Structure 1
Amino acid sequence: MAEIPANIQRAREQWRYRGQERPPFAEPVDDTQESVWDYPRPPRIEIDSRQVIVRYCDTLVAETIQAFRVLETASPPCFYVPRQAISDGVLVRSPGSSFCEWKGSAQWWSIVLPDRTKLLNAAWSYEEPFEGFERIAGFVSFYPALVECYVQGIRVQPQPGRFYGGWVTPEVVGPFKGLPGTESW
């Protein structure tokens, strides 16, 4: 488990919305929906037993009913699947990485198919996450903008923008962080 540096602690304290109040621009929800503005900061991890499938070029990349959803204010959930749910040999470590102020350093992964088709940086994982996120250590999430992701048979839509990897499902209501001008959400 990685130690949380003081500058990261300070950055965490700057967020206005933390799931305790919805902004005036939040979309209304009904009894079958969740508002991303009710999700907390720091993010919450939930077990999700719905079937999760990830495909690329008609190849099954992952399938599980033992995923975690990470819920963070303003973003649709990211689904994380256990390594054992990923088809053998399709993920290879990418040289890149990114950083989350809540979870720590993320390792990037590429998909390589038997015919040598390759998709760079299609997934990420936290191998040594910060305290509070140990449950997702070694689990992998995929970018639905790059691969086909399904939850209970419904194709996931990608979170807006190019940076985030949230999974937009019918029960999740925004607006979502990701487009220009939403950086401070």
Structure 2
Amino acid sequence: MGLSWQQGPLASRSVGTFLTAAPLPERLLFAEPLRRRMRVQLDGQWIADSEDVVLLHEPGHYPVAFFPVSDIRADVLEPSGRVTQHRELGATTWFTVTATEEPAERSAWQYTDLPDHAALLANRVAFAWRKMDAFYEEDERILGHAADAYHRIDIRSTTRHLVVRQGDKVIAETHTPTVLYESGFAPRWYVDRKDVALDALRPLEGQTFCPYKGLASYYSVGGVDNAAWAYEEAFTEVRRIDTMISFEADLLEIYLDGIRQSLAPGQLVTAHGVDRALDPDELRARTRPAG
């Protein structure tokens, strides 16, 4: 997912290869100007507002936004007395954010003894995503984590023959599947509900959240839990898969043009919780066309 998460180029499980004669370091960190206005909200107050944010990509982590100290409200950061060590970036000083009646402890941090090559992060503070109420780019809330410019989703129509079986039973069959390509993941095949034996699917309780697609609902197929899923209110950006159903290749038999599919590298997804203070109606509003 993006540059440093899942199987991105800087992730520890990258599926790609840097074509260099000498081996690269085991871990590569990448920092860059975000070049977007970003704001942080806590308890109805704007505590940071900047057009000079730097995004840090670290292997195995979502991208993290660092704000210049000068663009953070002066009265909201209180040193907590806690200092830890980052393996590459050195001493890390932690802050309590005091913009609420109950201060948010250890919810912001700053690298205070950076090596020279990491000077881009000097005099900058990051906020713990889940401890703040919301992050915004301009006036639009950003969900899940700072937006990763290297994360991309492409959706394509095709006339390939897709069959989903469970033993002798055909669960789905179509010559018009839709394939979703997402950075860091293997392709996912989605099927229109009219081509699915819906009587074989039983809805399950609970949902997972994708910052790029929305809330996913899951189904049991013939007693096998989580064998199928759908984004029933998919975000506007991926509206083409709204209500379509996808199937898990290691739990059911999936054949594409007669070739059985297997659980490909990158298809295991790490579930992402919904942001703090995110109203379900606000989440659903992202699925509706503007106007």
The TM-score bracket by the shorter chain reads 0.5 to 0.7
Structure 1 residue 85 corresponds to structure 2 residue 190: no
- Aligned mates of 1:161, 1:75 — CA distance in 2: 4
Counterpart residue type for residue 180 of structure 2:
V
Q: What root-mean-square deviation, in Å, do the aligned CA atoms of Structure 1 and Structure 2 show? A: 2.3
The within-5 A match list for 1:85-104 is 85-104=195-214
Counterpart residue type for residue 76 of structure 1:
A
Greater gyration radius: 2
C-alpha displacement at 1:74, in angstroms? 2.2
- Aligned mates of 2:155, 2:229 — CA distance in 1: 16
Question: Contact 2:153–2:180 at 8 Å: present in 1 too?
Answer: yes
- Cross-structure match for 2:251: 146
Counterpart residue type for residue 95 of structure 1:
E
C-alpha displacement at 1:124, in angstroms? 0.5
- Cross-structure match for 2:180: 70
- Aligned mates of 2:226, 2:144 — CA distance in 1: 28
C-alpha displacement at 1:120, in angstroms? 1.0
- Aligned mates of 1:11, 1:109 — CA distance in 2: 30
Change (3 A) 1:7 1:91: same
C-alpha displacement at 1:88, in angstroms? 4.1
- Aligned mates of 1:108, 1:145 — CA distance in 2: 15
**4+ residue runs over 4 A deviation:** none
Question: Contact 2:165–2:254 at 8 Å: present in 1 too?
Answer: yes
- Aligned mates of 2:167, 2:242 — CA distance in 1: 27
2:187 counterpart SS class: strand
The within-5 A match list for 1:82-161 is 82-112=192-222, 118-160=223-265
Change (3 A) 1:72 1:154: same
Change (3 A) 1:163 1:136: same
Counterpart residue type for residue 166 of structure 2:
Y
Q: Which has the higher contact order (CA 8 A, sep 6+)?
A: 1
Question: Contact 1:43–1:71 at 8 Å: present in 2 too?
Answer: yes
- Aligned mates of 1:7, 1:83 — CA distance in 2: 30
Q: 1:12 aligns with which of 109, 124, 147?
A: 147
1:11 counterpart SS class: coil
C-alpha displacement at 1:157, in angstroms? 1.3
- Cross-structure match for 2:13: none
Counterpart residue type for residue 109 of structure 1:
Y
C-alpha displacement at 1:78, in angstroms? 0.3
Counterpart residue type for residue 161 of structure 2:
Q
Q: Deviations over 1:96-123 (max 9, x none)?
A: 32111110100001113xxxxx111111
Structure 2's unaligned 5+ residue stretches are: 1-135, 271-291
1:6 counterpart SS class: strand
Change (3 A) 1:6 1:139: same
Aligned-residue sequence identity (percent) comes to 32
Structure 1 residue 60 corresponds to structure 2 residue 170: yes
Counterpart residue type for residue 219 of structure 2:
W
